[in-house]
Amino acid sequence: MNTLTSKKDYDVIVVGGGAAGLGVSIALTHAGIEDFIVLERHTVGLSFALWPAETRFITPSFPTNSIGMLDLNSIAIGVSPAYSLEVEHPTGLEYAQHLQGVARYFQLPIQENTEVKRVTKIGDDFVVDTTDDTLRAKHVIWAAGEFQYPRLKGFEGIELCQHTATIPSYQNLEGEDFIIVGGYESGVDAAYHLSQRGKRVRLFDKNCPWKAESSDPSVALSTYSAERMRKQWFEEHVELYPNTPIQFVKKLDESYEVTTHDGKTFQSPVPPLMAGGFDGSHKLVADLFEQRDDGFPLLNEDDESTSVSGMFLCGPTVRHDNHVFCFIYKFRQRFAVVAKAIATSLGLPAEELEIYRMWGMYLDDLTCCGEECVC
């Protein structure tokens, strides 16, 4: 997967070697598309490998392929992290290893350590400039994900906080008293692991996700997180501050001070932890998409740009009306849609994609909290 190629022109270039990039690439092969390449900035699955060591998937993996059902964390029919890893809630590192195995099994044409600097549409083709080369393609699928692009805006002094996406392990964090900003999955995950070590934690959120009445983990906490919040050490060491947005953070001589919108102040000897989500990589190609009112790319029914034909989006940043695809089991529904659209453009029948039809259905009433979803 590290071999550079001398080939410069492709039918399709996929940007991103994570769950979305590999999943849609497998769908391309089922559609009969062979002339494509996957460009990965680092190595396959690195975004998952960079998760804090203790963090696990909130969506459980079940070995159900034997009865025809899909593992929630599968990216392709016939593969399952539950089978390959023999674990129900994989760590990020375990899942990265699973993705690497999937890439080898399907013999996907992946070029690692290749950073895409710019994508430009010139005439009927796309010009994709990387750090080392310039490639051309008839179609581009942007599937570069979110995790490596943490949100660093939102209130004054946010730069003084440490984003949870930059923490290698909660075990190694120094301090006894922590403030966490953001009470969805990542915030609860951090609070869980810190409180398990006997640390004091104060958890702030502008809403109250742990009380939201919904079964959709894009809106409310997953059952996995809700269960962990009932652990004795969590209840003993974690103080919850719902409906408490943060106004600013400032550094004092020996501590950090957090001020809420209602004027209350809280101090901690260590930098507050920021668990407020990600900006996402789609902003790197914002000029190739029109924008929705919420700032996400505007897509047609095939997940293609409405302003630049041949430019597709795949992964957790896909939005359609109030439908949000921010978990693997959600955004994998769109793999076949994109692959079929490209195959049709290339004059291919894409007959094998019929097996993907169960993934092309919308889920009802999918909405999103607008915050971070660990997915």
Percent of the chain whose pLDDT exceeds 90: 74
More confident call, 7 vs 294: 294
CATH number of 158-274: 3.50.50.60
Looking at residue 127, its amino acid is V
Q: Which helix (H) or strand (E) holds 29?
A: helix 19-30
| Pairing label, strands 162-163, 134-142 | unpaired
- The answer to whether residue 4 scores a pLDDT higher than 90 is no
Element (H, E) at 125: strand 125-130
Segment 239-249, tens digit of pLDDT: 999 999 999 99
| Total-model pTM | 0.89
- Select from 198, 188, 194 the least CA-distant residue to 173: 194
pLDDT at 181 over 50: yes
Task: Please name the residue that has the structure tokens 């957090």.
Answer: 258
Q: Which tens digit of pLDDT belongs to each residue from 124-177? A: 999 999 999 999 999 999 999 888 888 888 899 999 999 999 999 999 899 999
pLDDT at 359: 47
Least confident residue range of 165-179, 276-290, 360-374: 360-374
Residue 373: pLDDT band with limits 50, 70, 90: very low
pLDDT of residue 219: 67
Closest CA to 224 of 215, 237, 233, 232: 215
Residues 327-338: pLDDT tens digits?
A: 899 999 999 999
- pLDDT tens by residue, 47-75: 999 999 999 999 999 866 555 678 899 99
Mean pLDDT (whole number) for 321-326: 85
Cα–Cα distance for residue pair 349/113, rounded to 1 Å:
33
- b/e burial code for range 309-342 (CB count within 10 A of at least 16 → b): ebbbbbbbbbbbeebbbbbbbbbbbbbbbbbbbb
CATH class as words, domain 9-148+278-359 = alpha beta
Question: What's the Rg (C-alpha) of the chain?
Answer: 21
What pLDDT score does 153 carry?
85
Q: How far apart are CA 20 and CA 317, in angstroms?
A: 11
pLDDT tens digits for 250-263? 999 999 999 999 99
Q: How far is CA 101 from CA 35, 46, 54, 296, in A?
A: 22, 13, 22, 32
Looking at the chain, which residues constitute the CATH 3.50.50.60 domain(s)? 9-148+278-359, 158-274
Task: Kindly tell me if the per-residue pLDDT of 372 is higher than 90.
Answer: no
For 140, list phi and psi in degrees, rounded to 5.
-130, 135
pLDDT at residue 360 is higher than 60: no
